[in-house]
């Protein structure tokens, strides 16, 4: 499946044509504060070309009460056994179905219709049902479940199956494709829940456990370590605009694990399993729980999440890129570091603030920026409508600008 974000396709002021840009940068990744689409390998569903939909929350979430962290018992010397016994019942399977309508030629063979349509068959609508399966975990005893957006994306019917065999109809309270987080609600009480940990303190080498339903094999447990932190979407082949830094693990995860928990040795969720790199072994990626929890609370409260948006496309300025631009376009940039703006979306906040293609962004609110990932993080942490102070380098001059982020335009 592909992860895709909103991508403005019209009214763009181009600094480089697409063909020229490809020739100059030869495959170097771009990021768009408003969304470029890059393929990724996600884990949750067999459905393709799903349409995103957000459902407004009709009632606020009861207070989430995490269970205490798990202490290793004398009986179970293996911490994995202890964790699985305690938190396994709070991991669920999520099945979803969606109806897809497509247009196909009408092969009725009526010669009159053939002549009427110029020997081209008229189109008729055909519907098919697509099914997908993923995982999730209960964060509230009253039935709120955290999972990936792509697990329930565009679903007509969502079914949640608990480890004890009970099955419930699920309602999508909200989903955010930009971060790939969704919240599903089931009508139940006194459910087992999982404690949420602190992903900010995770270090490579820590032991972790993954629980989920890979390839339809319910309640599968795997273990490993945290292999790395702060992996960008570009690092793993996903969209740069996911606005999430992923935790990498070598715990075995496969299609169907999407939305399931990645746990530490105390049984706390530190991340939500999300993506793999096809053809590789021991390369799984998960959304840090601090990010997932923040997005989930907004979805529970508002049914949607608004992300700050500037409306620029950019690339990290390197000596190689600087030399290519100079040789191909006869444009001599006077700085060696910063973030080069490739183009600016017409009528976007960046356009209104006076940013231009060819500007090199140097700092945001007096904080120096040298990579597009740094810019993306700062923008994501900013507030919509609250001014940011920028310093850009333009034709050898340092220019201060003020910009107010707007809500990220939503896909239609």
Q: Which two three-digit tokens encode residue 224? A: 């490993």
- The enclosing H or E element of 102 equals strand 91-105
CA distance 247 to 204: 9
Asked about 150 being catalytic, the answer comes back as yes
Please state, in angstroms and rounded to a whole number, the distance separating the CA atoms of residues 205 and 103.
52
Residues forming beta bridges with residue 152, ordered by sequence position: none
- Label each residue of 20-49 as H, E or C: HHHHHHCCCCCEECCCCCCCCCECCCCCCC
Active site residue 180: yes
Task: Say if CB 298 and CB 67 are below 8 A apart.
Answer: no
- Measured distance CA(33)–CA(36) in Å, rounded: 8
Backbone angles phi, psi at 24, to 5 degrees: -75, -45
Orientation angle between helical segments 18-25 and 319-329, nearest 10 degrees: 130
* Side-chain half-sphere CA neighbours of 36 within 13 A: 20
Q: Nearest 10 degrees: CA dihedral of 182, 186, 191, 197?
A: 10
Torsion of CA 255, 258, 261, 265, to 10 degrees: 40
Q: What is the DSSP letter of 140?
A: E
Identified catalytic residue from 258, 291, 348, 382? 258
Q: Which helix (H) or strand (E) holds 327?
A: helix 319-329
φ, ψ at 28 (rounded to 5°) = -70, 135
Q: Which of the following is catalytic: 95, 133, 135, 150?
A: 150
Whether residue 95 lies in the annotated active site: no
Q: What is the rounded distance in angstroms from the CA atom of residue 409 to the CA atom of residue 35?
A: 9
Q: Which candidate, 132, 136, 149, places its Cα nearest to that of 90? A: 136
Check 153, 176, 180, 351 and give the catalytic one.
180
Which residues fall within 8 angstroms of residue 111, CB to CB, at 6 or more apart?
none
Assigned token pair, 49:
């070309």
Active site residues: 150, 180, 258
């Amino acid at each position: 499946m592909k992860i895709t974000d909103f991508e403005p396709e019209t009214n763009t002021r181009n600094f480089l044509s697409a063909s020229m840009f490809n020739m100059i940068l030869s495959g170097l990744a771009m990021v768009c504060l408003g969304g470029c689409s890059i393929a990724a390998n996600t884990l949750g569903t067999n459905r393709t070309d799903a349409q995103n939909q957000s459902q407004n929350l009709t009632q606020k979430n009861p207070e989430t009460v995490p269970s205490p962290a798990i202490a290793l018992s004398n009986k179970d010397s293996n911490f994995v056994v202890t964790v699985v016994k305690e938190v396994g019942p709070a991991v669920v399977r999520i099945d979803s179905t969606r109806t897809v309508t497509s247009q196909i030629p009408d092969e009725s063979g009526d010669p009159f219709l053939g002549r009427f349509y110029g020997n081209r068959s008229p189109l008729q609508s055909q519907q098919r049902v697509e099914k997908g399966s993923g995982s999730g975990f209960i964060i509230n005893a009253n039935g709120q479940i955290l999972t990936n957006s792509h697990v329930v994306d565009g679903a007509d019917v969502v079914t949640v199956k608990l480890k004890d065999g009970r099955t419930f109809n699920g309602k999508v309270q909200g989903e955010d494709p930009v971060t790939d987080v969704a919240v599903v609600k089931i009508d139940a009480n006194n459910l087992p829940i999982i404690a949420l940990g602190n992903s900010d303190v995770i270090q490579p080498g820590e032991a972790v456990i993954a629980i989920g339903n890979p390839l339809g094999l319910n309640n599968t447990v795997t273990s490993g370590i945290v292999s790395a932190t702060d992996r960008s979407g570009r690092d793993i082949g996903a969209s740069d605009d996911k606005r999430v830094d992923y935790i990498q693990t070598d715990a075995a995860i496969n299609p169907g694990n999407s939305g399931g928990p990645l746990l530490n040795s105390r049984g706390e969720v530190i991340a939500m399993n999300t993506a793999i790199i096809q053809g590789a072994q021991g390369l799984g990626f998960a959304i840090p729980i601090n990010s997932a929890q923040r997005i989930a609370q907004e979805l529970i409260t508002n049914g949607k999440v608004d992300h700050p948006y500037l409306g620029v496309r950019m690339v990290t300025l390197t000596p190689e890129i600087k030399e290519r631009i100079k040789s191909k376009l006869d444009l001599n940039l006077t700085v060696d570091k910063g973030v080069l703006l490739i183009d600016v979306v017409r009528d976007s906040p960046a356009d209104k603030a006076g940013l231009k293609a060819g500007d090199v962004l140097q700092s945001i609110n007096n904080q120096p920026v040298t990579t597009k990932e740094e810019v993306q993080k700062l923008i994501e942490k900013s507030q919509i409508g609250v001014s940011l102070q920028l310093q850009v380098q333009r034709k050898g001059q340092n220019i201060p600008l003020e910009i107010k982020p707007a809500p990220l335009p939503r896909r239609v």
